[in-house]
Amino acid sequence: MYAFISPWLIGFIVFALFPIAASLYYSFTDYDIIHSPKWVGLENYKTMFVDDLFWKSVTVTLQYTFISVPLQLLLALGFALLLNQKIPFQGFFRTAMYFPSMVSGVAMSLLWYWVFNPQIGLFNYMLSWVGIKGPAWLMDPRTALYSLIIMSFWTVGGAMILFLAGLQGVPSSLVEAAKLDGAGRLSIFLHVTLPMISPVLLFQLIMGIIDSFQVFTQAFVMTQGGPNYSTWFYVYNIYTSAFKEYRAGYSSALSWLLLFVVLFVTFIIMKMSNRYVHYEGGKS
């Protein structure tokens, strides 16, 4: 076995284990990447708490997570339920809805940068059809973050495909049995479908939260964290601290906090899920 997994094992040690340890060490130092690190104890962690930009980045990131992740999951599940019926052109719909999530990254950011343009962009033009005068979106500190949240709905196709796979794994015998017992659509969904796909839901929830903690490309390409720091995402903050301000020690402390929070959130969700998530065969 070890012969087979050794490439991964070496990679794990060199590209994950060692960097994690090094990052922890750097977080206790004053370090500019060029000169050797100087031990400063808990200094970086203390700085964090009085750093306005740190708090701003935490607020922005949490706001984004709490609004965008649940809505994305709802939309993805809704679309998957729509597609899971016998409907003409099913393959076409599936492909068309999944495709945007492969366009993610800079190409998507450039496209939406234009879509959100207040004068010539598609979004305000479409709003004008229904008589709404749209805001300045990315250029207004009050709407910039919401623009990025709206944009995130464009890529729910990825989550949708996973839900669809989950839905197709629900044994039709169970659904038919429930129907024979006189259950309606809603009650079949609540008592048969939902419990059966709860592991997929859990997986998506965790991955969705972890991903939204790590928004970077949008902030880098579309807003540079602005206007007025309204899209100053946490990872964008880590990036600027380390590679623009050369405070790699401080930045390491920020990234260790991120690592810690991600592990903590995962742990909490897993614990909670033992009560709500149904696994076939009763294993948890």
Partner 1 sequence: MITASRVQGTDMNVNARRKRKADPVRIISFLTLVIITALMLLPLLFMVATSFKTKQEMLQYPPSLLPETLQFSNYKAIFSALNFGTLYQNSLMIGIVTVIGTLLSSSLAAYGFARFRGKGRDFWFMLLLSTMMLPYPAIMIPQFVLFSKLGWVDTFLPLIVPAFFGSAYNIFLLRQFFATLPEELFDAGRIDGCSEIGMYWKIALPLSGAALATVAIFAFIYSWNDLLTPVLYLNSSDKFTLPVGMASLTSSKFRIPPWQLLMVASVLAVLPIVALFVVAQRRFVEGIVLTGIK
Alpha-carbon distance of 281 to 284, in angstroms, equals 9
CB of 229 to partner 1, least distance (A): 17
36: exposed, middle or buried (Cβ count in 10 Å: 0-12, 13-18, 19+): exposed
Alpha-carbon distance of 175 to 135, in angstroms, equals 46
Which residues, 37 to 96, sit near partner 1 by CB under 8 A? 79, 82-83, 85-88, 92-96
Report whether 252 contacts 26 (CB < 8 A).
Answer: yes
Beta carbon nearer to partner 1, 41 or 88: 88
CB of 207 to partner 1, least distance (A): 8
* Listed ranges 13-21, 47-55, 57-65, 142-150: which one lies at the site for partner 1 (CB under 8 A): 13-21
Residues 90-104, buried b or exposed e (16+ Cβ, 10 A)? Answer: eeeebeebbebbeee
List strand residue ranges (DSSP E) for 140-238, in order: none
Which residues, 159 to 188, sit near partner 1 by CB under 8 A? 161-162, 165, 168-169, 173, 176, 179-180, 185
Is 198 a binding residue for partner 1 by CB under 8 A? The answer is no
Report whether 218 contacts 151 (CB < 8 A).
Answer: yes
Among 47, 59, 117, 198, binds partner 1 (CB under 8 A): 117
Beta carbon nearer to partner 1, 70 or 169: 169
Is 203 a binding residue for partner 1 by CB under 8 A? The answer is yes
Is 255 a binding residue for partner 1 by CB under 8 A? The answer is yes
